[in-house]
Amino acid sequence: MSRRPTREQAWESGFAHAQDYAEQHGNLRVPVAYVAPDGYPAGRWVADQRARRTGYRARFVGDRLTDEQVERLERLGMVWDTRPRRARLLAAERPDLAAQYDGELNRVPLGAVRLRSKQDVAWRCPRGHTWSEPPIARAGRTTAWCPTCRSGQTPAQPAAR
């Protein structure tokens, strides 16, 4: 009767397969369905390590990765977060707001401004009024409004372009 490997032996076996994958591919962005040539489910093992790092799959405290294990995986090129990142850019998501982005007063080019940014940027309405506000504050509104025009106020001198 064969003995079941200890937790450490099982981890080292998985790590050896991860090492082989990293040598071939240059990172540990292993597809979950990947199976090593010897039949070992290396993709599932790597996915489990991601979950163990966050504690998502930890049944008890001992199931979390140790600092040493995290460090060893990182040296192999472990990719911890594999979710695709899609930049939600202001110009693409809200062209009505992008039209009011003041390219002269802002240091950041319009193409790099994220819709959910919390950093103040300068805006200019079609009447020439300027104000500062983060895109995230404007993102929830359904219209591209100007605080001066909305309040019915007319500044003494509209901002010159």
**Phi, psi (degrees; rounded to nearest 5) at 133:** -170, 145
Look at residues 124, 129, 126 and name the one whose alpha carbon lies nearest to residue 158. 129
β-pair partners for 124: 130
How many other CB atoms are there within 10 angstroms of residue 91's CB atom?
16
Inter-axis angle of helices 67-75 and 42-54, to 10 degrees? 130
pTM, whole model, 2 decimals?
Answer: 0.51
Burial of 123 (0-12, 13-18, 19+ CB in 10 A): buried
Tens digit of each residue's pLDDT (9 = 90 or more) over 63-104:
788 899 999 998 888 888 777 666 688 888 888 899 999 989
Please write the tens of the pLDDT for every residue from 34-55. Answer: 999 999 999 999 999 988 887 6
DSSP run (H or E) holding 65: none
